[in-house]
Amino acid sequence: MAHNFDVIVIGGGPGGYVCAIRAAQLGLKTACIESRGTLGGTCLNIGCIPSKSLLNLSENYHKAKKDFNQQGIEIGEVKINIDKMMSTKNKSVQVLTKGVEFLFKKNKVTYIKGKGVLFSKNDVVVYNDNKKEQYITKNIVIATGSEVATLPGIKIDEKNIISSTGALSLKKIPKKLVIIGGGYIGLEMGSVWSRLGTEVTVVEYLDHITPGMDREISSEFQKILSKQGIKFKLNSKVTSVKNQNDSVIVDFVNKDSSKGSLKADKVLVSIGRKPYTEGLNLSKIGVKKDSKGKIEVNEKLQTSVQNIYAIGDVIKGPMLAHKAEEEGIAVAEILAGQAGHVNYDVIPGVVYTSPEVATVGKTEEQLKSQSQSYKVGKFPFLANSRAKVNNETEGFVKILADSKTDKVLGVHIIGPHCGEMIAEMALAMEFGASAEDIARTCHAHPTHTEAIKEAALAVDKRPIHF
């Protein structure tokens, strides 16, 4: 027996579940299909949320072990109980996934467990174990997310050669960890295990870490991580990764053609993610993809088939949970006849290391390549009173503004709590603020956010405290 819906969302990650909830709020009869068995997608189950739990716990441990005694908080021997730490992480994930399920019930979204396959533009069949069920719908939203990208010839076994999923569930602290790829996921995982006592080496193909980030921030970030004990092999192409007894051997070639080799207990392959659209029957239905496997969409997030939409990691733009959420809400509102919209110029990105790195808008390199004339305002946390008293003085705020209009074009921060601070600048940019607007907004004292005000003053070469 077929069930009829106004909209079926395939995928229950941040994009999919948010889209389903908003569509239901707007009066559409909505279902969400998820094959994982729990809602929340990669982000909630094996990504953002568990990694932030481990980052927080490992940072607390590191502070207790390294900083407290110097600051007059004297404690005895500090020990790590890795089982308890993993259990704390797992509990957080469980509570949050159950929370999404509750939100579905509250908003009357039909939650369907299983794998959804498109048989026509209005016909979705869901396979769950040996059962299959047919659903008829007016509209379909594809929100199936992404999966770990791999290197040719390297097999991830999640034992010694691991992905980020494996790095979130190690049973014991490795002595040596090699990370292939200097992007934010690898660096976050590297930070966790480095703080817990692992010797971490990052092998990166490019001559800098965090590709796409403002280069000045990227260089500072690498300096800080190096000071924390993380080693870097840049300009290095990995040629093979092999299990050898209980170790893993990573062979690589430098830009100058010299060869190198590293031996580790674990190797984390962290070279990015790729869209997951396998088994959906998209080509048969006529949904077009680009050369990178991303689903092509127009400004209304419609695919080449009019009533089929796509959001999140399967389409253009950064693979970020909050970007997928924005698209999910936009699609739901478009389906309800409203004017849904996503401003791709103002999507913040955060690396949750210590210190954090946060960015929104254009980098200096992008502005140069677009021949855009701009001014720069910078302010170091070393001159910020709250950062000073908290012993969190690394990093700086950098604001890029249009030379003629003073409109803020990009903001890049490395420093304490900047993952929270970036929201102020995203809001400012959404409203088209100038650096002068930020500089003339009264910021509470003493706070880290005063560094933003000072950087805005510095755009006009008039900071007070530096």
Lookup: tokens for 57: 């716990």
Tell me, rounded to whole angstroms, the distance of Cα 445 from its chain centroid.
Answer: 31
The tokens 């409109």 sit on which residue?
Answer: 407
How many C-beta atoms lie closer than 10 Å to residue 70's C-beta?
9
Catalytic residue among 412, 445, 448, 465: 445
3-state secondary structure at position 53: helix
* DSSP, res 296: P
- The encoded tokens of residue 285 equal 């239905």
Question: By percentage, how much of the chain surpasses pLDDT 90?
Answer: 96
Cα(179)–Cα(241) distance, rounded to whole angstroms? 11
For residue 1, what pLDDT is reported? 58
Are both 161-271 and 349-459 of the same fold? no
The first and second tokens of residue 282, run together, are 């998209």
The DSSP code sequence of 138-173 is EEEEE---EEE---TT----SSSEE-HHHHTS-SS-
Q: How far apart are the first and last CA of the chain?
A: 71
Which segments within 85-145 are labelled E, that is strand?
Answer: 110-113, 115-120, 123-128, 131-142
* Host H or E run for residue 250: strand 247-254
| 387-393: Cβ within 8 A, 24+ apart | 387/415, 387/416, 387/448, 387/451, 389/446, 390/416, 391/67, 391/71, 392/355, 392/416, 392/448
pLDDT of residue 70: 87
Q: Per DSSP, which regions of 199-285 are E strands?
A: 199-203, 231-233, 236-244, 247-254, 259-264, 266-269, 273-275
pLDDT of residue 375: 98
* Distance between CA atoms of residues 17 and 30, nearest Å: 11
Query: In 270-310, which ranges are E strands?
Result: 273-275, 308-310
138-178 pLDDT, tens digit per residue, is 999 999 999 999 999 899 999 999 999 999 999 999 999 99
From 1.10.3720.10, 3.30.390.30, 2.30.110.10, 3.10.20.30, which CATH number describes the 349-459 domain? 3.30.390.30
Tens of pLDDT along 370-422?
A: 999 999 999 999 999 999 999 999 999 999 999 999 999 999 999 999 999 99
Instruction: Please name which of 161, 201, 156 lies closest in space to residue 182, comparing C-alpha atoms.
Output: 201
- Tens-place pLDDT, residues 22-68: 999 999 999 999 999 999 999 999 999 999 999 999 999 999 998 99
Residue 150 contacts residue 156 (beta carbons within 8 Å): yes
Query: Tell me, which fold does domain 3-148+274-335 have in CATH?
Result: FAD/NAD(P)-binding domain (3.50.50)
Residue 256: its pLDDT value, please? Answer: 86
CA dist 95 and 126 (Å) reads 26
Distance CA 146, CA 31 (A): 21
Q: Once rounded to an integer, what is the mean pLDDT over residues 278-293?
A: 95
C-alpha distances out from residue 409 to 218, 333, 351, Å: 18, 28, 20
- More confident of the two residues 125 and 257: 125
Taking only the tens place, the pLDDT of each residue in 64-98 is 998 998 899 999 899 999 999 999 999 999 999 99
CATH of 161-271, one of 3.40.50.720, 3.40.50.970, 3.50.50.60, 3.40.50.300: 3.50.50.60
Q: What is the pLDDT of residue 2?
A: 72
Structure tokens at 280: 């959906």
Domain residue spans of the chain: 3-148+274-335, 161-271, 349-459
Q: Are 125 and 132 in contact (CB under 8 A)?
A: yes
Q: Which residues of 311-323 are buried (b: 16+ CB within 10 A; e: fewer)?
A: bbbbbebebbbbb
Q: What is the pLDDT of residue 69?
A: 87
Q: What is the mean pLDDT of residues 181-208?
A: 97
**d(Cα 122, Cα 5) in Å, to the nearest integer?**
10
Look at residue 261 and give its three-state secondary structure.
strand
Kindly list the distances between the CA atom of residue 282 and the CA atoms of 35, 261, 332, 423, 458, in Å, as whole numbers in the listed order.
17, 42, 21, 37, 51
429, pLDDT greater than 90: yes
Whether 448 is a known active-site residue: answer no
| Structure confidence at residue 251 as a pLDDT band (50, 70, 90) | very high
Residue 65 CA to residue 56 CA, distance in Å, equals 14
User: How much is the pLDDT for 92?
Assistant: 96
